[in-house]
Structure 1
Amino acid sequence: MTIPRLIAALAMTLAAAASQAYDFKTVGAAPAVLYDAPSTKGGKLFVVPRGAPLEVVLTYGEWIKVRDINGDMAWTEARNLTGKRNVIVRAANLKIRSTPDDAATAAFTADKGVLLEVLDTAAGGWLKVRHKDGVTGYVKNADIWGV
């Protein structure tokens, strides 16, 4: 392989890796059992509550390898996950803003670990979210996990 072709191949590989986005799914209506292998015969590691976001690492047939907020990886059946998007608050007493602006008034405050439903994306790294009580607001991507 010539040097120009090698450089072009390397550039294409780096561009593909840089464009790869994280893929998140949400645990569906029932809690999901996570296993140490892609089989119900594998060891059960733990149960993830409904609504929790999980990062998709790998898909293998009807099984998905996922990563949780703590960085732990395990396998679950694909049927346990939905495309609905939820996120988890990372900090205590996080102010969810009324508009996507740091200076905006707080629409509500959420504690660390609270689940929020993603409604839409906004410019500048903000998401429009809804609390289970129905109140909506905007949160920065850096303050939540699941995007």
Structure 2
Amino acid sequence: MRRSLVAALWTLPFAFAAAGAGASDFRSLAEPAILYDAPSKQGKPLFVIQRHTPVETVVNIDRWVKVREPAGSLLWLERRQLSEKRTLIVTAPRAEIRQKPDAASPLAFEAIKDVVLELADKPADGWVKVKHRDGTAGFIRINQVWGL
């Protein structure tokens, strides 16, 4: 019995790791959301995150989701606050969004750090097509955004 208990305890972390592998995905917030330190309204509210901000879902528990927010913190929010809409957040101090996925292509627009852009297409060859809330679209290098 002791040997099987030790074996079960030894494999438990690996089972959770395997269950979580590939399970995380990115969403955006449908509304401003309070982020908590625990999956409950009795948890400590830490800060509010703005509508459309991308988050990475890490764990789902009933009505709560543990997310990684753009600064890297792991916190909890209510599942109902998530949207299926995909957004990205600019991480570079100043990003050039090009008309085509080519550094020599004409500039479509520029965005500064923390601007949220809508994901318009899948990334390819180091670029991703994005759309600004004003409707302007273009291509940004994937190393200049977070949320993919």
Matched residue type, 1:111: I
State the SS of the aligned residue for 1:34: strand
State the SS of the aligned residue for 2:121: strand
Matched residue type, 2:92: A
State the SS of the aligned residue for 1:109: strand
Q: 1:122 & 1:36 partners in 2: Cα distance?
A: 33
What is the root-mean-square deviation of aligned Cα atoms in Å?
1.9
Summarize the Cα distance change of 1:110–1:21 in structure 2 as closer, same or farther, 3 Å threshold.
farther
Q: Name the counterpart of 1:65.
A: 66
Aligned-pair distance for 1:21? 7.0
Contact 1:100 1:122 in 2 (8 A): no
Note the 1:23-38 alignment, pairs <5 A: 23-28=25-30, 30-38=31-39
Aligned-pair distance for 1:22? 4.7
Contact 2:27 2:57 in 1 (8 A): yes
Contact 1:95 1:106 in 2 (8 A): yes
Summarize the Cα distance change of 1:123–1:21 in structure 2 as closer, same or farther, 3 Å threshold.
farther
Structure 1: tracts of 5 or more residues without a match: 1-12
Q: 2:107 & 2:79 partners in 1: Cα distance?
A: 37
Does the alignment pair 1:20 with 2:38? Answer: no
- What is the percentage of aligned positions where both structures have the same residue? 45
Does the alignment pair 1:129 with 2:130? Answer: yes
Summarize the Cα distance change of 1:22–1:102 in structure 2 as closer, same or farther, 3 Å threshold.
farther
Structure 2: tracts of 5 or more residues without a match: 1-14
Q: 1:39-75, CA deviations, whole angstroms, 9 ceiling, x for partnerless residues? A: 1111101111101001111111111000111111110
Q: Name the counterpart of 2:146.
A: 145
Q: 1:21 & 1:109 partners in 2: Cα distance?
A: 33
Q: Name the counterpart of 1:82.
A: 83
State the SS of the aligned residue for 2:40: coil
Q: 2:94 & 2:35 partners in 1: Cα distance?
A: 30
Contact 1:58 1:66 in 2 (8 A): yes
TM-score by length of 1: 0.82
Q: 1:139 & 1:21 partners in 2: Cα distance?
A: 26
Q: Name the counterpart of 1:52.
A: 53
**Number of aligned pairs?**
131
TM-score by length of 2: 0.82
